[in-house]
Amino acid sequence: MSSPQRAQVGLPGASSVDIDHAAIAAMAMSSHAEPAPRHRLPPMARRGRGAVSNPAPRFDARETEAFDDGWSTLDSWAELPPLPTTLTRDASKSVIAWNSSPDLGFDRAVNPYRGCEHGCIYCYARPSHAYLGYSPGLDFETRLVFKPDVGALLEKELRKPGYVPRPMALGSNTDPYQPVERTLRLTRSVLEVLEKFGHPLSIVTKSAGVLRDLDILQRLAARGLVRVWLSVTTLDNQLARRMEPRAASPALRLAAVAALAQAGVPAGVLAAPMIPGLNDAEMEKILEASAKAGARQAGYVLLRLPHELRQMFEAWLGTHYPDRARHVLSLVRQTRGGMLNDSRFHDRFTGQGAYAELLNKRFDRAVRQWGLEKRTDLETRHFAVPGAARTDVAQLALF
C-alpha cells in the first residue's frame, strides 16, 4: 500500500503547512467537506496567553496572509511583547440567554462577561467573539466585554409576569470566575439576585475563585438551589499551563471541589474537553482524584472545533506539540466522521466511531467505580418575586 501523499507549502520565513491530500480528497466526498488548510501567519505566541494566532473574524471581508518583505519582518514576531487585557462596557438591555438545544441540561443562562482571560485554546466559545467584530484568537483573551448592570437587568427579567423558574446556568459560555471577577464582582451580583428570588442555578468554572462566594453558595445549597461544576482537563501542570494559561492549576481546582464538598455545596467535575491523543489517557485519573476530593457527579465532553477554532487549534498544536500534532488531528477526525468538527445535535458532545465509543465506555466504567453518579436535583419551589404575592410556581411549571 502506498503512503498518503503529502506536501509542504509555505513562504520564506513563515511556518509551513502540512497538507494531507488523501485526507482532503476523502473529506471532499462528504456533504460537509472541510476547506483545505490555508497559509498561516507565523506563531504569535505571547507569554501568559493561550492562542498563538489572531485570525480575522469569519464575517470580515478581508483576511491577512503571511508575506516576506525581504527585511526579516516575520522573524521579529518571535519576540512579541505581552498583551494587556482591556475591558469594554456592554450596553445589553437583557442578560438571560435562552436555548432549546436537546444536548444541554438547561434552557437559560447568564454570562456576565464576553471573552475569557483564562485563554483556554480549546474553548468552544471563542468563535462567539466574532459577533463583536473581534478575533476568536488573542482578542478573545485580551479584549473582554463586561455587563456592569447584569444584576439589575437579571432582576428585571425575573420580575416579568409569567416567568417560570428553572435552573439558570452560569459559565455556559465564558468563565464567571475569570481573573477580572476579583475586582468587578459581577458574578457575585448575579448570585445575590438569584438568592433573593430563591432561583436555582448551576455553575461551571475552572477557577478556585468560586470559593470567594462560599457564603452565598452555602445558603443556596441549604435550600437545594445550587450545584457547582469544576472543569478539570488534565492533572499535568505543564499541559495545563499551555492549554489554559490563566486558569487555576489542577491541584487548586480539586482543592476547590474539596472545600465546596466540606461546606455542603454539591460539587461535580467535568473532564472536559477530552482531546484524543493529548489528555484523554488521563480520564480515569481525573475522575479518581475528583471522587477523592469529594465530587458527587462527573461529566465529559469531546473536543469541539467550530468555525475559526479549527485553524487556531491546529496552529497551537504545531507550536507546542509538533511531534504529535498529526496524530492528534487524525484521532479527532476518527471521532468526527472524517472531519475536525461535527455540529449535529446528539453527536457534537460525544462524537461517533470506535474511538469515541471506547472513550464513552471508559467514562461510564470510571463513574461507576468511583461513585460519581449522585445526581443533584435543584428545587424550584422556593422561587418568589420579592415584594409580590407568591405564585404557586409548582403549578406554573406544569404548563
Q: Model confidence over 319-378: pLDDT tens digits?
A: 999 999 999 999 999 999 888 888 787 777 788 899 999 999 999 999 999 999 988 789
Mean pLDDT in the chain?
Answer: 85
Q: pLDDT tens across 5-64, in order?
A: 444 444 334 344 445 555 445 444 444 545 544 445 555 666 678 777 777 777 776 666
Q: Would you say residue 67 lies in a domain?
A: no
Residue 197 falls inside a structural domain: yes
- Position 117 scores a pLDDT of 94
pLDDT of residue 74: 54
At position 53, the amino acid (one-letter code) is: S
| pTM of the predicted structure, to 2 decimals | 0.81
- pLDDT at position 82 is 77
Q: Looking at residues 245-257, what average pLDDT do you find?
A: 96
| pLDDT for 197 beyond 70 | yes
26, part of any domain: no
Q: Is residue 190 part of a domain?
A: yes
**What pLDDT is attached to residue 222?**
97
Which pLDDT band holds residue 69 (cuts at 50, 70, 90)?
A: low
C-alpha cell at 293: 476530593
- Is the residue at 72 inside a domain? no
pLDDT at 123: 94
Task: Report whether pLDDT(2) > 50.
Answer: no
Answer yes or no: is 66 within a domain: no
Look at the chain and report how many structural domains it folds into.
1
CATH code of 158's domain: 3.80.30.30
Question: How far from 266 is each of 33, 178, 184, 259, 371, CA to CA, in Å?
Answer: 43, 21, 26, 11, 14
**65-74, 168-177, 349-358, 365-374: segment of lowest average pLDDT:** 65-74
Q: Please report the pLDDT score of residue 55 as a whole number.
A: 74
Q: Are 143 and 174 in contact (CB under 8 A)?
A: no
Angstrom distances, CA of residue 316 to CA of 42, 74, 217: 11, 18, 37
* pLDDT at residue number 28: 47
**Is residue 39 one of the residues assigned to a domain?**
no
What was the pLDDT predicted at 339? Answer: 87
Instruction: Please check whether residue 35 lies inside any domain of the structure.
Output: no
| SS3 track for the chain | CCCCCEEEECCCCCCCEEEEHHHHHHHHCCCCCCCCCCCCCCCCCCCCCCCCCCCCCCCCCCCCCCCCCCCCCHHHHHHCCCCCCEEEECCCCCCEEECCCCCCCCCEEECCEECCCCCCCCCCCHHHHHHHCCCCCHHHHHEEEECCCHHHHHHHHHCCCCCCCCCEEECCCCCCCCCCHHHHCHHHHHHHHHHHHCCCEEEEECCHHHHHHHHHHHHHHHCCCEEEEEECCCCCHHHHHHHCCCCCCHHHHHHHHHHHHHCCCCEEEEEEEECCCCCHHHHHHHHHHHHHHCCCEEEEEECCCCCCHHHHHHHHHHHHCCCCHHHHHHHHHHHCCCCCCCCCCCCCCCCCCHHHHHHHHHHHHHHHHCCCECCCCCCCCCCCCCCCCCCCHHHHCCC
Angle of CA points 330, 331, 337, to nearest 5° = 85
Over residues 264-309, the pLDDT tens digits come to 999 999 999 999 999 999 999 999 999 999 999 999 999 999 888 9
Question: In terms of residue numbers, what domain contains 178?
Answer: 49-60+78-383
Region 379-394: mean pLDDT is 78
Most confident stretch, 39-48, 117-126, 139-148, 248-257: 248-257
